[in-house]
């Protein structure tokens, strides 16, 4: 299993490469896909760097 540090670096690299592609001349659909990739990679990176239990985005609904 990869260490958190290596995974964090991998997500940063994904963001950097996707942002480079996004700046190039691309169709709207491609740019939207790249935007999704960047969003997912940033979210995963933010989750890994946050304190345990601090993310409430996926918490079960309280009834």
For 11-51, the pLDDT digits (tens) are: 899 999 999 998 888 788 998 999 999 998 888 876 666 66
Does this model's pTM top 0.95? My answer is: no
Q: Which of 54, 51, 22 is nearest to 36 (CA)?
A: 22
Q: Do residues 44 and 14 lie in contact, with contact meaning Cβ atoms separated by under 8 Å?
A: no
Q: Looking at the domain assignment, is residue 63 inside a domain?
A: no
Structural domain total, the chain: 1
Lowest mean pLDDT among 2-11, 22-31, 49-58: 49-58
Q: Is the pLDDT of residue 61 over 70?
A: no
| 24 within some domain | yes
Residue 30 domain-assigned (yes or no): yes
Say what the alpha-carbon torsion angle 50, 53, 59, 61 is, to the nearest 10 degrees. Answer: -140
- Going by pLDDT thresholds of 50, 70 and 90, the confidence category of residue 3 is confident
Its sign, for the CA torsion 23, 26, 28, 32, is negative
Range of the domain at 8: 4-48
């Amino acid at each position: 299993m990869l260490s958190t540090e290596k995974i964090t670096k991998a997500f940063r690299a994904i963001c950097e490469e996707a942002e480079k592609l996004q700046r190039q001349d691309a169709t709207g659909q491609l740019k939207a896909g790249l935007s999704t990739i960047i969003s997912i990679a940033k979210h995963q990176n933010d989750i890994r760097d946050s304190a345990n239990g601090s993310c409430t985005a996926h918490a079960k609904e309280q009834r």
